[in-house]
Amino acid sequence: MDRSSNKKNKLFSKSQIFFYVFAVAIFGFVVYYFSEIKSGVIQLSKVNVYWLIIAVGGQVLTYASGALIYRKLLEIFSNIKPGIAELVGANVVALFLNQAVPSAGISGNKVYDLYLRMDSDVLAKSPDAVVIFIGVNDVWHKRTSGTGTDADKFEKFYNAIIKKLKAKNIAVYLCTPSSIGEKNDFTNPQEGELNAYSAIIRKIASDNNCPIIDLRQAFTDYLKTNNPDNKDRGILTADGVHLNMTGNIFVAQKMFDVLSKSFIK
């Protein structure tokens, strides 16, 4: 009997073994979660089919819209134009990543808000690592709403947050605040104070042996090169403070650069 005949007569090929293992795993999953699956099927059977079609259609449009945005960004930043189908898949993956890497940030919060929410919004989720990006509102709100946080209190609350996280063996990464205005000639309002709070965070990072994501320095360097008209907004932010699409990508890249050195493997 030749070699090809032997192959045909083998009881299990690698693909068959994989199929059987996968089938057993699916069977086990169905058996283990049978009651939940049955309940879900019953609930689904009660749904109005037209509303279900609208809901599914709306979700598909959401993914497609996200894919178009990704495609435009890739054209701008890397001069490539991948297919929409690929990017729809990437958009679905991004949805699951957003669930796997949750954010506890709340717009308008200052450092003492973070401290007060630490137990319920962060420690309760048992994270392996936490990135702290705070400080803009602590400075900015002094001018816009008469609140903000004094420098000494800012430092005390910040250190207290790190103490809580370190007590749970959580890796802590600190970000300096990004900007209050984008002018590159150092004439933005509260420029000096924002730099002073950034210096406080750098010191806290050094004292507590925490990696630093120095967004303040990164923004300063970027705006020197990419803001030739000395605009106060529209480069990395929409209004001088809140990030636009380019700013979000820029910050994400800076965070990844630091996290990939020690946490993301």
Burial readout 120-130 (b: 16 or more C-beta within 10 A, e: otherwise):
ebbbeeebeeb
Per-residue pLDDT tens, the chain, 265 aa: give them: 454 445 444 555 555 565 666 666 666 655 555 666 667 667 777 778 888 788 888 888 887 887 787 777 667 655 667 777 777 776 676 666 666 677 888 889 999 999 999 999 999 999 999 999 999 999 999 999 889 999 999 999 999 999 999 999 999 999 999 999 999 999 999 999 999 999 999 999 999 999 999 999 999 999 999 999 999 999 999 899 999 878 888 998 999 899 988 876 5
Q: CA–CA separation, 165 vs 118, rounded Å?
A: 9
Extract the tokens encoding 5: 């005949």
Burial readout 160-171 (b: 16 or more C-beta within 10 A, e: otherwise):
ebbebbeeeebb
Whole-number pLDDT of residue 1:
47
Q: CA–CA separation, 139 vs 195, rounded Å?
A: 10
Q: CA–CA separation, 10 vs 152, rounded Å?
A: 75
Distance spanning both ends of the chain, measured CA to CA = 50
